[in-house]
Chain A
Amino acid sequence: MINNSIYIKSQQEVFDVVIVGSGAGGGMAAHTLAKAGAKVCVLEAGQPFDPADPKDMTQMKWPYESLRRGSSSSLRNFGDFDAAYGGWDIEGEPYTRKEGTKFDWFRSRMVGGRTNHWGRISLRFGPDDFKRKSIDGLGDDWPIGYDDMKPFYDKVDKMIGVFGTNEGLRNNPDGYFLPPPKPRLHELMIKKANKALGIPTYPSRMSMLTKPINNERGQCFYCGQCNRGCSAYADFSSSSVLIKPAVNTGNTTVLPFAMAREVMTDPITGLATGVSYVHTGTMMEYSVKGKIVVLAASAGETARLLLNSKSSRFPNGIANSSGVVGKYINDSTGASRSAIIPSLFDRKRYNEDGVGGMHVYTPWWLDNAKLDFPRGYHIEYGGGMGMPNYGFGWGIEGLNGRENFTRDGIKKAAGGYGATLKEDYRRFYGAYVSFAGRGEPVPREDNYCEIDPSVVDKFGIPVLRFNYKWSDYEVKQAKHMQDTFEEIIHSMGGEAMGKKPGAENNYGLADPGRIIHEVGTARMGNDKKTSVLNSNCQAHDVKNLFVADAAPFVSQGDKNATWTILALSLRTSEYIIDQRKKGNL
């Protein structure tokens, strides 16, 4: 029998560094530190994952190889082939929300974390993104600026690989780019429509290898399925690109199924001594010792771990003398719309899978000083003749009865059946386009996560309770997104689908958490009363405790977080190496 006696097993080995989490931040820290010769232990709450292992591989599978034809399930929320084990709700691992507020929390329980299925949109922050308060007085400045980060972005570009183009845009800085894939047909149409409207369209910046960069990783073969994980390791995921080579150094031990419970401390020195964890399979309790502890468990989990690591010395949780841990959590804004482009009806068939996701995008192009909301957004585009999946053909009765949607131009009855219905499905295939805005919110102290006073998960670990509300700033930004999408749709000669979202539903603004870009729960700063970490992501209160995920972010820009997580983790890791050499750690 198991679980009759949980007993605590303590490792004898003392690692140089214990890292919690194997996603973008933890992977980069493990990779950098192990390559520098440190003995590293990585705790991962989920299971092993290797997209080249047939056991885990879903790439190149057809919809009929899934019983549910690729639909989502409670165990794979983004579809049956998506490389995310976990989801919005994980059995036995609840989280709660304060009454009247919303927050949805997506967790991947696997080596590599959420980098296994992410969109690979790899945008550096620009100079303005670090200094928003100086520009308009809202939010806070980072304690570092673009010049501090640029060398690390450059290294990440070269180490991991990203395609794109240098456009000389001030707040969307140039980088070291591989050649971008050419736009697809609908993307050329969007570009043309945008040009007429004065909206810029550029090749997207994403981390797929359009050219090989080393012998360990292959080249993109354009299946468009990056979210399933790449068996050629031709896209970036932490598991394939960072953890795997870190393990190969012989200096890294990865412990899967290890759910961190607390950061352990020395009651006398107050320094971190390691991490206690529960094995999620056996329910046995363990601890692992380290000279340095790096938390990279995700903004939410890192805050939870800090807050749960209480002792007489740290009654509010470790590194939390400021009381700031959990505060300022912020997710990207998101709103979307789709459309049908009649000129794409009955289009010629060819393979346009391309890379997984968009080949072009629109970075923020306007001046907020002239608008009624303070922060920008970028636009992501979708569409094309993709692989049919569960949901294909759904709702055709809303399309095939429309004027001008028939081949001969004669209106026919909506819905129907039989051979003419089959003709309709063929005609509409590949004529959809979609638009998604992803924007910057203003971080607020009164948006926070905290420990729920009465709820624990199945491991007995107190859970997070979220308290998050959008402000007018974000709602007005979403309105602007919707107006812009309609302009582009009309300029393309398309018909927008569904009713235009309005004030009654916040202009389609996604609930907090839904964009899965939550950051900011242990923010950096120069003042230890208003921040958790210093400018090197080192805890003000505990000098051998670091954070390497998106928790240190002071704000998130109108960019996706991953490239900055990677660059910041690299910077933090190099600082750790430097400080070790100097004997300061």
Chain B
Amino acid sequence: MGLSSLGLAVFNPDEKAIENLELGKVPVKRPNGRTQEEAEMEAKLKAEIFLNAHELATITILSDIIIPADKKSGSASQSGVTAFIEFIVKDKPELKTPMRGGLRWLDVESNKRFSKNFTELTPAQRLNIVDEIAYPGKTPKHLSQGESFFTLMRNLTATGFYTSKIGIADLDYKGNTPNQWNGVPDEVLKQYGLSYDA
């Protein structure tokens, strides 16, 4: 229960008064862990459409090139990276143009080389382009904008993947659970030649 339920604000307008201000507006339900203001901001962002189906399909393919499934874990798209990027470019509007423009740059480059959009290329044709923009410092000069875009995609893909359920399990993060901290495990202390007595 909130402090407002602890018997305070007895003679003053409380949260109800705030709620009543929302007259004429479709009320946005406040989910746990969000303020009313946040709930409204997020509802608005979720309703906004920015990236289109073709752009999202391209993002899905690229993100799976960056983080494919391997022996240990699934792929970027399996972890929900596409939906994450769809949201985050709306939430951080400074990402909108780099993302949209970068995707178009990629399609233009695909068409120059193979007369098709990136999504229609064969896996080998896709890597023909990706290999030239994925390694900063080795990028042919005329493709430098492609390198910037791919770096942005790598960053967003990695962040989206490793903050997902699949990605957190891949990293083997052990925390976010109640426990008693008793110090570094003995075998780890030994490995590093450290001790608590020093």
Which residues in A have some Cβ–Cβ distance to B below 8 Å?
2, 11, 47-50, 53-58, 60-65, 67-71, 73-76, 81, 85, 111, 181-185, 188-189, 191-192, 221-225, 239, 243-244, 247-248, 250, 252-258, 279, 281-282, 284, 286, 343, 347-355, 385-397, 401, 413-419, 421-422, 425-426, 429
CB contact between A247 and one of B3, B21, B92 (< 8 Å): that residue: B3
Tell me the bound Cα distance from A354 to B65 in angstroms.
36
A221 CB to closest chain B CB, in angstroms? Answer: 4
Tell me the bound Cα distance from A71 to B72 in angstroms.
27
Q: Which residues of A contact B27 (CB under 8 A)?
A: none
Contact pattern, B 153-170, Cβ under 8 Å of A = 1, otherwise 0: 011001111111101101
Assess whether B154 is in contact with A419, with CB atoms less than 8 Å apart.
Answer: no
Assess whether A57 is in contact with B4, with CB atoms less than 8 Å apart.
Answer: no
> Would you mind naming 19 contact pairs between A and B with Cβ atoms under 8 Å apart?
A48-B15, A60-B176, A69-B160, A75-B37, A75-B38, A85-B35, A222-B178, A222-B179, A252-B8, A253-B10, A348-B191, A350-B188, A385-B173, A385-B174, A391-B159, A392-B159, A413-B135, A415-B136, A417-B66
Tell me the bound Cα distance from A221 to B159 in angstroms.
27
Q: Which partner residue on chain A sits nearest B7 by CB separation?
A: A247
B165 CB to closest chain A CB, in angstroms? Answer: 6
B55 CB to closest chain A CB, in angstroms? Answer: 19
Q: Which partner residue on chain B sits nearest A46 by CB separation?
A: B35
Q: Which residues of B contact A418 (CB under 8 A)?
A: 65-66, 68
Q: Which residues of A contact B158 (CB under 8 A)?
A: 392-394, 396, 425
Assess whether B194 is in contact with A56, with CB atoms less than 8 Å apart.
Answer: no
Beyond the given pairs A75-B41, A355-B181, A390-B163, 15 more chain A to chain B contacts, judged by CB atoms under 8 angstroms and listed by A's residue number, are: A50-B2, A64-B165, A185-B192, A192-B194, A223-B178, A252-B8, A254-B8, A256-B14, A351-B179, A354-B181, A385-B175, A394-B159, A415-B134, A417-B67, A422-B68
CB contact between A421 and one of B67, B159, B189 (< 8 Å): that residue: B67
Tell me the bound Cα distance from A386 to B178 in angstroms.
14
- Asked if B53 lies at the interface with its beta carbon under 8 angstroms from chain A, I say no
Q: Which residues of A contact B159 (CB under 8 A)?
A: 69, 390-394
Contact pattern, B 135-161, Cβ under 8 Å of A = 1, otherwise 0: 111100000000000110011001111
- Asked if B121 lies at the interface with its beta carbon under 8 angstroms from chain A, I say no
User: For chain B residues 7-30, which have a beta carbon within 8 Å of chain A?
Assistant: 7-15, 17-18, 21, 30
Assess whether B3 is in contact with A254, with CB atoms less than 8 Å apart.
Answer: yes
Q: Which residues of A contact B41 (CB under 8 A)?
A: 73-75
Assess whether B8 is in contact with A182, with CB atoms less than 8 Å apart.
Answer: no
Q: Which residues of B contact A69 (CB under 8 A)?
A: 84, 88, 159-160, 163
Tell me the bound Cα distance from A111 to B177 in angstroms.
27
- Asked if B57 lies at the interface with its beta carbon under 8 angstroms from chain A, I say no
Assess whether A61 is in contact with B68, with CB atoms less than 8 Å apart.
Answer: no
Tell me the bound Cα distance from A415 to B154 in angstroms.
8
Assess whether B38 is in contact with A73, with CB atoms less than 8 Å apart.
Answer: yes
Q: Which residues of B contact A63 (CB under 8 A)?
A: 163-164, 168
B13, B66, B91, B185: most-surrounded residue (chain A CB, <10 A): B13
Q: Which partner residue on chain B sits nearest A111 by CB separation?
A: B3
Assess whether B154 is in contact with A57, with CB atoms less than 8 Å apart.
Answer: no
CB contact between B155 and one of A191, A253, A394 (< 8 Å): that residue: A394
Q: Which partner residue on chain B sits nearest A250 by CB separation?
A: B7
Assess whether A279 is in contact with B176, with CB atoms less than 8 Å apart.
Answer: no
B73 CB to closest chain A CB, in angstroms? Answer: 8
Assess whether B2 is in contact with A49, with CB atoms less than 8 Å apart.
Answer: yes
Q: Which residues of A contact B161 (CB under 8 A)?
A: 393
A554 CB to closest chain B CB, in angstroms? Answer: 33
Tell me the bound Cα distance from A426 to B175 in angstroms.
16
A259 CB to closest chain B CB, in angstroms? Answer: 13
CB contact between A182 and one of B136, B177, B182 (< 8 Å): that residue: B182
Q: Which residues of A contact B151 (CB under 8 A)?
A: 397, 415
Sorted nearest first, the 7 A-B pairs with minimum C-beta distance are A393-B158, A182-B183, A63-B163, A221-B178, A281-B18, A353-B175, A351-B174
B49 CB to closest chain A CB, in angstroms? Answer: 15
Q: Which residues of A contact B181 (CB under 8 A)?
A: 181-182, 222, 351-355
Assess whether B174 is in contact with A223, with CB atoms less than 8 Å apart.
Answer: no
B184 CB to closest chain A CB, in angstroms? Answer: 5
B167 CB to closest chain A CB, in angstroms? Answer: 7
Q: Which residues of B contact A53 (CB under 8 A)?
A: 1-2
B196 CB to closest chain A CB, in angstroms? Answer: 6
Tell me the bound Cα distance from A183 to B194 in angstroms.
11
Q: Given A385-B173, A413-B135, A421-B67, does the pair A221, B179 have CB atoms closer than 8 Å?
A: yes
Q: Which partner residue on chain A sits nearest B188 by CB separation?
A: A348
Assess whether B17 is in contact with A254, with CB atoms less than 8 Å apart.
Answer: no
Tell me the bound Cα distance from A413 to B130 in angstroms.
14
Q: Which residues of A contact B3 (CB under 8 A)?
A: 48-50, 111, 239, 243-244, 247, 254, 256
Tell me the bound Cα distance from A58 to B154 in angstroms.
29
Q: Given A387-B176, A417-B66, does the pair A68, B88 have CB atoms closer than 8 Å?
A: yes
Q: Which residues of A contact B87 (CB under 8 A)?
A: 67-68
Q: Which partner residue on chain B sits nearest A286 by CB separation?
A: B12
Tell me the bound Cα distance from A339 to B37 in angstroms.
37
A45 CB to closest chain B CB, in angstroms? Answer: 13
Assess whether B70 is in contact with A415, with CB atoms less than 8 Å apart.
Answer: no
Assess whether A184 is in contact with B184, with CB atoms less than 8 Å apart.
Answer: yes
A534 CB to closest chain B CB, in angstroms? Answer: 32
Assess whether A279 is in contact with B17, with CB atoms less than 8 Å apart.
Answer: yes
Assess whether A61 is in contact with B33, with CB atoms less than 8 Å apart.
Answer: yes
Tell me the bound Cα distance from A425 to B170 in angstroms.
10
Q: Which residues of B contact A223 (CB under 8 A)?
A: 175-178
Q: Which residues of A contact B91 (CB under 8 A)?
A: 67-68, 71, 73
Tell me the bound Cα distance from A191 to B37 in angstroms.
44
Q: Which partner residue on chain B sits nearest A110 by CB separation?
A: B35
Q: Given A254-B8, A281-B17, A348-B191, does the pair A414, B135 have CB atoms closer than 8 Å?
A: yes
Q: Given A185-B184, A188-B184, A393-B162, does the pair A255, B84 have CB atoms closer than 8 Å?
A: no
Q: Which residues of B contact A192 (CB under 8 A)?
A: 194, 198
Q: Which partner residue on chain A sits nearest B4 by CB separation?
A: A48
Q: Which partner residue on chain A sits nearest B41 by CB separation?
A: A75
Q: Which partner residue on chain A sits nearest B184 by CB separation?
A: A185
Q: Which residues of B contact A188 (CB under 8 A)?
A: 184, 189, 192, 194, 196
Tell me the bound Cα distance from A239 to B189 in angstroms.
39
Assess whether B173 is in contact with A388, with CB atoms less than 8 Å apart.
Answer: yes
Assess whether A11 is in contact with B179, with CB atoms less than 8 Å apart.
Answer: no
B84, B172, B183: most-surrounded residue (chain A CB, <10 A): B183
User: For chain B residues 63-99, which have a beta carbon within 8 Å of chain A?
Assistant: 65-68, 70, 72-73, 80, 84, 87-88, 91-92
Tell me the bound Cα distance from A50 to B33 in angstroms.
11
A347 CB to closest chain B CB, in angstroms? Answer: 8
Q: Given A390-B163, A392-B159, does the pair A254, B179 have CB atoms closer than 8 Å?
A: no
Q: Which residues of A contact B154 (CB under 8 A)?
A: 396-397, 415, 417, 421
Assess whether A349 is in contact with B174, with CB atoms less than 8 Å apart.
Answer: yes
Tell me the bound Cα distance from A258 to B9 in angstroms.
10
Tell me the bound Cα distance from A252 to B187 in angstroms.
53
Tell me the bound Cα distance from A207 to B176 in angstroms.
20
